[in-house]
Protein backbone atom coordinates (compact mmCIF):
# COMPACT_ATOMS: atom_id res chain seq x y z
CA UNK A 1 0.00 0.00 0.00
CA UNK A 2 2.82 2.39 0.92
CA UNK A 3 4.54 1.72 -2.38
CA UNK A 4 1.26 2.24 -4.25
CA UNK A 5 0.61 5.63 -2.64
CA UNK A 6 4.18 6.80 -3.12
CA UNK A 7 4.14 5.81 -6.77
CA UNK A 8 0.78 7.46 -7.25
CA UNK A 9 1.96 10.76 -5.74
CA UNK A 10 5.13 10.65 -7.84
CA UNK A 11 3.15 9.86 -10.97
CA UNK A 12 0.56 12.59 -10.40
CA UNK A 13 3.20 15.25 -9.71
CA UNK A 14 5.23 14.26 -12.78
CA UNK A 15 2.01 14.17 -14.81
CA UNK A 16 1.05 17.68 -13.74
CA UNK A 17 4.50 18.98 -14.71
CA UNK A 18 4.04 17.44 -18.14
CA UNK A 19 0.59 19.00 -18.24
CA UNK A 20 2.06 22.50 -17.89
CA UNK A 21 4.07 21.87 -21.02
CA UNK A 22 1.29 20.08 -22.88
CA UNK A 23 -1.45 22.62 -22.05
CA UNK A 24 0.25 25.40 -23.99
CA UNK A 25 1.11 23.05 -26.81
CA UNK A 26 -2.45 21.78 -27.21
CA UNK A 27 -3.96 25.28 -27.19
CA UNK A 28 -1.38 26.53 -29.69
CA UNK A 29 -2.09 23.58 -31.95
CA UNK A 30 -5.86 23.75 -31.50
CA UNK A 31 -6.16 27.46 -32.24
CA UNK A 32 -3.24 28.13 -34.52
CA UNK A 33 -2.65 24.72 -36.14
CA UNK A 34 1.01 25.22 -35.31
CA UNK A 35 3.25 22.26 -34.55
CA UNK A 36 5.59 24.04 -32.19
CA UNK A 37 8.66 21.95 -31.47
CA UNK A 38 10.35 25.03 -30.01
CA UNK A 39 7.98 24.72 -27.04
CA UNK A 40 10.52 22.46 -25.32
CA UNK A 41 13.10 25.25 -25.70
CA UNK A 42 10.89 27.56 -23.65
CA UNK A 43 10.61 24.83 -21.04
CA UNK A 44 14.38 24.47 -20.75
CA UNK A 45 14.83 28.25 -20.61
CA UNK A 46 12.27 28.33 -17.80
CA UNK A 47 14.27 25.67 -15.96
CA UNK A 48 17.65 27.41 -16.33
CA UNK A 49 16.50 30.97 -15.76
CA UNK A 50 14.41 29.91 -12.76
CA UNK A 51 17.38 28.02 -11.27
CA UNK A 52 19.71 30.95 -11.92
CA UNK A 53 17.38 33.59 -10.44
CA UNK A 54 16.82 31.41 -7.39
CA UNK A 55 20.55 30.97 -6.90
CA UNK A 56 21.16 34.71 -7.24
CA UNK A 57 18.26 35.99 -5.15
CA UNK A 58 17.38 33.05 -2.92
CA UNK A 59 13.74 33.85 -3.63
CA UNK A 60 11.79 30.97 -5.16
CA UNK A 61 8.82 33.20 -5.94
CA UNK A 62 11.04 35.64 -7.82
CA UNK A 63 12.59 32.70 -9.66
CA UNK A 64 9.16 31.51 -10.81
CA UNK A 65 8.03 35.01 -11.88
CA UNK A 66 11.35 35.70 -13.62
CA UNK A 67 11.23 32.40 -15.51
CA UNK A 68 7.68 33.14 -16.68
CA UNK A 69 8.64 36.64 -17.87
CA UNK A 70 11.70 35.33 -19.74
CA UNK A 71 9.63 32.50 -21.25
CA UNK A 72 6.99 34.96 -22.44
CA UNK A 73 9.59 37.31 -23.93
CA UNK A 74 11.19 34.43 -25.84
CA UNK A 75 7.71 33.20 -26.82
CA UNK A 76 6.88 36.62 -28.25
CA UNK A 77 10.08 36.63 -30.33
CA UNK A 78 9.35 33.09 -31.57
CA UNK A 79 5.76 33.85 -32.53
CA UNK A 80 6.48 37.21 -34.11
CA UNK A 81 9.58 36.33 -36.14
CA UNK A 82 9.63 32.55 -36.63
CA UNK A 83 6.09 31.28 -36.57
CA UNK A 84 3.97 34.11 -37.98
CA UNK A 85 5.60 33.85 -41.44
CA UNK A 86 4.81 30.12 -41.66
CA UNK A 87 1.18 29.99 -40.50
CA UNK A 88 -0.72 27.37 -42.45
CA UNK A 89 2.34 25.43 -43.62
CA UNK A 90 3.02 22.45 -41.38
CA UNK A 91 6.21 21.33 -43.09
CA UNK A 92 7.81 24.75 -42.72
CA UNK A 93 6.53 25.00 -39.15
CA UNK A 94 8.11 21.68 -38.30
CA UNK A 95 11.48 22.69 -39.76
CA UNK A 96 11.57 26.20 -38.37
CA UNK A 97 10.36 25.31 -34.88
CA UNK A 98 12.77 22.40 -34.73
CA UNK A 99 15.49 24.89 -35.64
CA UNK A 100 14.14 27.26 -32.99
CA UNK A 101 14.31 24.43 -30.47
CA UNK A 102 17.98 23.77 -31.29
CA UNK A 103 18.86 27.47 -31.10
CA UNK A 104 17.09 27.86 -27.76
CA UNK A 105 18.80 24.75 -26.34
CA UNK A 106 22.24 25.65 -27.60
CA UNK A 107 21.97 29.28 -26.51
CA UNK A 108 21.56 27.99 -22.96
CA UNK A 109 25.23 26.99 -23.14
CA UNK A 110 26.28 30.56 -23.94
CA UNK A 111 24.84 31.78 -20.65
CA UNK A 112 25.30 28.80 -18.34
CA UNK A 113 27.97 26.68 -20.01
CA UNK A 114 27.72 23.14 -21.43
CA UNK A 115 27.52 21.23 -18.14
CA UNK A 116 24.34 20.31 -16.29
CA UNK A 117 23.71 22.50 -13.28
CA UNK A 118 22.47 21.40 -9.89
CA UNK A 119 19.39 23.01 -8.40
CA UNK A 120 18.42 22.97 -4.76
CA UNK A 121 14.96 22.84 -3.29
CA UNK A 122 13.80 25.98 -1.55
CA UNK A 123 14.22 25.52 2.22
CA UNK A 124 10.50 25.72 2.99
CA UNK A 125 9.76 22.93 0.51
CA UNK A 126 12.46 20.52 1.68
CA UNK A 127 11.60 17.37 3.58
CA UNK A 128 8.62 15.09 3.52
CA UNK A 129 5.36 14.16 5.20
CA UNK A 130 5.25 10.73 6.81
CA UNK A 131 2.19 8.67 7.72
CA UNK A 132 2.49 5.02 8.69
CA UNK A 133 5.40 4.23 6.43
CA UNK A 134 4.10 6.39 3.59
CA UNK A 135 6.60 9.10 2.72
CA UNK A 136 5.37 11.96 0.61
CA UNK A 137 7.92 14.52 -0.49
CA UNK A 138 6.77 18.08 0.24
CA UNK A 139 7.87 19.48 -3.09
CA UNK A 140 5.78 16.92 -4.97
CA UNK A 141 2.71 17.97 -3.00
CA UNK A 142 3.56 21.58 -3.88
CA UNK A 143 3.81 20.68 -7.59
CA UNK A 144 0.46 18.86 -7.42
CA UNK A 145 -1.23 21.85 -5.76
CA UNK A 146 0.25 24.33 -8.27
CA UNK A 147 -0.63 22.03 -11.19
CA UNK A 148 -4.23 21.61 -10.06
CA UNK A 149 -4.64 25.34 -9.41
CA UNK A 150 -3.30 26.13 -12.86
CA UNK A 151 -5.61 23.60 -14.46
CA UNK A 152 -8.53 25.22 -12.65
CA UNK A 153 -7.37 28.70 -13.70
CA UNK A 154 -7.05 27.61 -17.33
CA UNK A 155 -10.44 25.95 -17.25
CA UNK A 156 -12.01 29.09 -15.80
CA UNK A 157 -10.21 31.25 -18.37
CA UNK A 158 -11.51 29.15 -21.25
CA UNK A 159 -15.02 28.50 -20.01
CA UNK A 160 -15.94 31.65 -18.09
CA UNK A 161 -14.28 34.62 -19.78
CA UNK A 162 -14.84 36.51 -22.99
CA UNK A 163 -11.31 35.85 -24.23
CA UNK A 164 -11.76 32.15 -23.42
CA UNK A 165 -14.92 32.14 -25.49
CA UNK A 166 -12.98 33.69 -28.37
CA UNK A 167 -10.22 31.09 -28.05
CA UNK A 168 -12.69 28.20 -28.01
CA UNK A 169 -14.51 29.60 -31.03
CA UNK A 170 -11.17 30.19 -32.76
CA UNK A 171 -10.20 26.55 -32.26
CA UNK A 172 -13.37 25.60 -34.17
CA UNK A 173 -13.46 28.18 -36.96
CA UNK A 174 -10.85 30.93 -37.19
CA UNK A 175 -12.40 32.58 -40.24
CA UNK A 176 -15.78 32.93 -38.60
CA UNK A 177 -14.20 34.44 -35.50
CA UNK A 178 -12.56 37.06 -37.71
CA UNK A 179 -15.89 37.70 -39.39
CA UNK A 180 -17.23 38.62 -35.94
CA UNK A 181 -14.73 41.45 -35.69
CA UNK A 182 -12.23 39.62 -33.49
CA UNK A 183 -8.53 40.10 -34.19
CA UNK A 184 -7.38 36.50 -34.53
CA UNK A 185 -3.70 37.47 -34.84
CA UNK A 186 -3.93 39.19 -31.46
CA UNK A 187 -5.66 36.10 -30.09
CA UNK A 188 -2.87 33.92 -31.52
CA UNK A 189 -0.23 36.03 -29.80
CA UNK A 190 -2.13 35.87 -26.50
CA UNK A 191 -2.42 32.07 -26.67
CA UNK A 192 1.21 31.71 -27.68
CA UNK A 193 2.37 33.86 -24.76
CA UNK A 194 0.12 31.90 -22.41
CA UNK A 195 1.61 28.65 -23.70
CA UNK A 196 5.15 30.06 -23.36
CA UNK A 197 4.43 31.17 -19.78
CA UNK A 198 3.12 27.71 -18.86
CA UNK A 199 6.11 25.98 -20.47
CA UNK A 200 8.58 28.25 -18.63
CA UNK A 201 6.71 27.73 -15.37
CA UNK A 202 6.83 23.97 -15.94
CA UNK A 203 10.59 24.21 -16.46
CA UNK A 204 11.10 26.38 -13.38
CA UNK A 205 9.11 23.92 -11.25
CA UNK A 206 10.88 20.91 -12.73
CA UNK A 207 14.39 22.20 -11.94
CA UNK A 208 14.25 21.69 -8.14
CA UNK A 209 12.10 18.58 -8.69
CA UNK A 210 14.75 16.76 -10.70
CA UNK A 211 17.67 18.46 -8.93
CA UNK A 212 19.64 18.95 -12.11
CA UNK A 213 18.98 20.70 -15.41
CA UNK A 214 20.71 20.28 -18.75
CA UNK A 215 20.33 21.98 -22.12
CA UNK A 216 19.09 18.88 -23.98
CA UNK A 217 16.16 18.23 -21.65
CA UNK A 218 13.93 20.48 -23.78
CA UNK A 219 13.64 17.99 -26.63
CA UNK A 220 13.08 15.11 -24.24
CA UNK A 221 10.14 16.88 -22.60
CA UNK A 222 8.80 18.31 -25.85
CA UNK A 223 8.42 14.79 -27.24
CA UNK A 224 6.69 13.71 -24.05
CA UNK A 225 4.35 16.70 -24.30
CA UNK A 226 3.55 15.91 -27.95
CA UNK A 227 2.70 12.34 -26.98
CA UNK A 228 0.41 13.66 -24.24
CA UNK A 229 -1.27 16.11 -26.60
CA UNK A 230 -1.95 13.38 -29.17
CA UNK A 231 -3.19 10.91 -26.54
CA UNK A 232 -5.46 13.55 -24.99
CA UNK A 233 -6.77 14.83 -28.32
CA UNK A 234 -5.23 17.80 -30.10
CA UNK A 235 -6.74 21.07 -28.94
CA UNK A 236 -8.39 19.63 -25.82
CA UNK A 237 -7.24 21.01 -22.46
CA UNK A 238 -9.11 18.35 -20.48
CA UNK A 239 -7.69 15.68 -22.75
CA UNK A 240 -4.16 16.91 -22.09
CA UNK A 241 -4.76 16.95 -18.35
CA UNK A 242 -6.09 13.40 -18.41
CA UNK A 243 -3.33 12.14 -20.71
CA UNK A 244 -0.64 13.83 -18.59
CA UNK A 245 -1.90 12.05 -15.51
CA UNK A 246 -2.09 8.71 -17.32
CA UNK A 247 1.45 9.10 -18.71
CA UNK A 248 2.83 10.32 -15.38
CA UNK A 249 1.20 7.62 -13.24
CA UNK A 250 1.77 4.78 -15.71
CA UNK A 251 5.41 5.89 -16.04
CA UNK A 252 5.93 5.85 -12.26
CA UNK A 253 4.41 2.37 -11.86
CA UNK A 254 6.16 0.94 -14.88
CA UNK A 255 9.56 2.30 -13.80
CA UNK A 256 9.09 0.53 -10.46
CA UNK A 257 7.63 -2.78 -11.55
CA UNK A 258 8.95 -3.34 -15.10
CA UNK A 259 11.81 -0.83 -15.55
CA UNK A 260 12.85 -2.34 -18.89
CA UNK A 261 9.52 -1.39 -20.41
CA UNK A 262 9.29 2.12 -19.00
CA UNK A 263 10.90 3.78 -22.02
CA UNK A 264 8.56 2.03 -24.44
CA UNK A 265 5.49 2.74 -22.34
CA UNK A 266 4.60 6.14 -23.79
CA UNK A 267 4.84 4.88 -27.35
CA UNK A 268 2.72 1.87 -26.40
CA UNK A 269 0.06 4.11 -24.84
CA UNK A 270 0.14 6.34 -27.91
CA UNK A 271 -0.28 3.39 -30.27
CA UNK A 272 -3.18 1.92 -28.27
CA UNK A 273 -5.05 5.22 -28.09
CA UNK A 274 -4.54 5.94 -31.78
CA UNK A 275 -5.78 2.47 -32.70
CA UNK A 276 -8.85 2.67 -30.47
CA UNK A 277 -9.68 6.37 -30.84
CA UNK A 278 -7.63 8.16 -33.50
CA UNK A 279 -8.82 11.62 -32.37
CA UNK A 280 -7.35 11.01 -28.90
CA UNK A 281 -9.12 10.41 -25.59
CA UNK A 282 -11.09 13.66 -25.59
CA UNK A 283 -10.35 14.86 -29.06
CA UNK A 284 -13.37 16.17 -30.78
CA UNK A 285 -13.09 18.90 -33.33
CA UNK A 286 -13.77 22.13 -31.61
CA UNK A 287 -13.64 21.28 -27.94
CA UNK A 288 -10.88 23.22 -26.25
CA UNK A 289 -12.26 22.77 -22.75
Binding site for another protein (CB under 8 A): 162, 165-166, 168-169, 172-173, 175-184, 284-289
Distance, CA of 25 to CA of 32 (rounded, Å): 10
* 150 in Cβ contact with 143 (< 8 Å): no
* 103 in Cβ contact with 59 (< 8 Å): no
Closest distance between another protein and the C-beta of residue 36, in Å?
Answer: 23
Distance, CA of 109 to CA of 128 (rounded, Å): 34
Closest CA to 164 of 145, 179, 146, 177: 177
Q: How far is CA 261 from CA 16, 18, 264, 269, 270, in A?
A: 22, 20, 5, 12, 14
Closest distance between another protein and the C-beta of residue 179, in Å?
Answer: 4
Closest distance between another protein and the C-beta of residue 90, in Å?
Answer: 18
Q: b vs e for 255-271, b when ≥16 Cβ sit within 10 Å of the residue's Cβ?
A: beeeeeebeebbeebbe
- Nearer residue to another protein within complex by CB, 103 or 163: 163
CB atoms within 10 A of CB 123: 9
Give Cβ neighbours of residue 116 (< 8 Å, ≥ 6 apart): 212, 213, 214
Closest distance between another protein and the C-beta of residue 285, in Å?
Answer: 8
- Nearer residue to another protein within complex by CB, 53 or 237: 237
Closest distance between another protein and the C-beta of residue 288, in Å?
Answer: 8
Closest distance between another protein and the C-beta of residue 187, in Å?
Answer: 10
Distance, CA of 68 to CA of 163 (rounded, Å): 21
Closest distance between another protein and the C-beta of residue 274, in Å?
Answer: 22
- Nearer residue to another protein within complex by CB, 82 or 289: 289
- Nearer residue to another protein within complex by CB, 140 or 168: 168
- Nearer residue to another protein within complex by CB, 91 or 110: 91
- Nearer residue to another protein within complex by CB, 262 or 287: 287
Q: How far is CA 62 from CA 145, 146, 195, 258, in A?
A: 19, 16, 20, 40
- Nearer residue to another protein within complex by CB, 75 or 235: 235
Amino acid sequence: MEVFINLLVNGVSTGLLIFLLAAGLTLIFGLMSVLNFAHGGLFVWGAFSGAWIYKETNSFLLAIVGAIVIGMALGWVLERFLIRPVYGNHVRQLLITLGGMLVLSESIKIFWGPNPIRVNLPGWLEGSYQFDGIIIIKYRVFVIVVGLLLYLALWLLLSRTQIGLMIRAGVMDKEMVQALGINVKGLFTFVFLLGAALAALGGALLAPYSGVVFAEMGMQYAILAFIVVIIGGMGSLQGSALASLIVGVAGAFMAYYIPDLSLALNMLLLAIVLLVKPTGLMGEKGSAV
